[in-house]
Amino acid sequence: MAKISVFGIGYVGVVSAACLAQDGHEVIAVDVDQGKIDAINAGMSPIVEEGIDDLVREMVAKGKLRATSDFGRAVHETEMSFVCVGTPSAADGSVGLSYVTSVCEDIGKALREKDVYHSVVIRSTIVPGSTESACIPVLEQTSGKKAGVGFGVGYYPEFLRESTAIADSYDPGLVVFGFMDEPTGQILADLNKDMPCAVNKVDIRTAEMVKYTSNTWRAVKVTFANEIGNIAKSCGIDGQSVMEILCSDKKAAMSPYFMRPGFAFGGSCLPKDVRALRHLASQNDTPAHLLNAVLEANEAQISKAEAMVEKSGAQTVGFVGISFKPGTDDLRESPLVSLAARLINKGIEVNIYDPFVKEAYDSGTPGAGRGNESVPNLENRLVGDLDELINDAGAVLVGNYYNETVEKLKEAAKTQTVVDLTRLHRDMVSDENYEGICW
């Protein structure tokens, strides 16, 4: 079993650390946020995710997982470090590397004082060439050692979907990693030896590119399904039936998870990764027409939903869901946040039913409301009772699908305006009160 330090107690970091600990490894989670550190050491998860609370509690109790702000000690007490910090988009759409390089600088300083071989593995999503052009130079400069000789380097992207991240850790569908040196490659191979899918061992740039290709493909599929849905609706055809039939062709390897007409994509990965790949293409003087179209079409889907709400004439709108997808409290680049902000700026009152976001606030989860930069007084807009939300609303906007809301919302659609971006039920199509975005 390995001793691993995980730098960054965010979404990927917490899930990775807890799952590695469950596999029997000794894991130290590292961050500068004392609230997150205290939460882990108290056996509590600093994020909201299905099953993560129990897993963190169990691993801390077993002594397999602990957290610290002492970067140097974490490096000295482990044999491999995972870098799992965020890479937010810069103003021009390029990937932001400041958090990654800052962590690499701190790890490099610790490596200068460490005589035992240590591997540094980047898990953050970074465009091809970033490990070589940004991470390795910083590590070499601060450690005084040469990459691949004095310390190991690898790139090992994650393929975790929020709300199913623990299950995805053990069945990701795709495993790929790149490495400079055999010791790093061997440890990564050992970590993945029991995976129920192919393990792809490649060079670092290829591993970086696979991650962006995978995320961009997801974004492309969502946009394609929405466009088909919009066109199908204009012809009086059910776009979801069309896409379901298309997805039944398993030889085409189409995942029905994304190939479903509905609302815009969002979250911490797809929007920024499409922007970053588009920026990379521009830097290389390579046309990227589809990437431009993906972002333009995604924005248009938000504008379409905005127009649908405005058409209703409602001055009070009840949102069912505000996170970028059901099952998480993550608001980063949520299209529902963008939509709500637009309506609020036009003088429309917005109230919100979102059990996961409300849970994060009510439980005092560190980082509650994470990613919200647009909706003022978000916590005060949250409503815990769906009946109250419906009764007070001139129109109800269904942004996320929650099983417990379906029957009440179907009933509400008989007498008041319901704008549906996710589809409550396959039998429901646009009529006098009910308006589906693609059906």
Q: Is 114 annotated as a binding residue?
A: no
Q: Is 140 annotated as a binding residue?
A: no
Q: Is 258 annotated as a binding residue?
A: yes
Q: Is 243 annotated as a binding residue?
A: no
- C-alpha separations of 58 from 33, 43, 62, 117 in Å: 22, 7, 6, 31
Q: Is 125 annotated as a binding residue?
A: yes
Q: Is 260 annotated as a binding residue?
A: yes
Does residue 331 contact residue 379 with C-beta atoms inside 8 Å? no
Q: Is 311 annotated as a binding residue?
A: no
Q: Is 236 annotated as a binding residue?
A: no
Residue indicated by tokens 């039913």: 353
Does residue 11 contact residue 330 with C-beta atoms inside 8 Å? yes
Does residue 133 contact residue 121 with C-beta atoms inside 8 Å? no
Q: Is 78 annotated as a binding residue?
A: no
Q: Is 162 annotated as a binding residue?
A: yes
Catalytic hit among 84, 104, 135, 269: 269
Q: Is 269 a catalytic residue?
A: yes
| Alpha carbons 309 and 178: distance in angstroms, whole number | 47
Per-residue burial over 5-35, b if 16 or more Cβ lie within 10 Å, else e, is bbbbbbbbbbbbbbbbbbeebbbbbbbebee
| Alpha carbons 4 and 1: distance in angstroms, whole number | 10
Q: Is 259 annotated as a binding residue?
A: yes
Q: Is 79 annotated as a binding residue?
A: no
Beta pairing, strands 152-155 & 3-7: unpaired
Q: How large is the C-alpha radius of gyration of the chain?
A: 23
Residues catalogued as catalytic: 269
* Binding region for substrate: 159-162, 211, 258-262, 266, 325
* Binding region for NAD(+): 31, 36, 87, 125, 162, 272, 332
* Binding region: 31, 36, 87, 125, 159-162, 211, 258-262, 266, 272, 325, 332
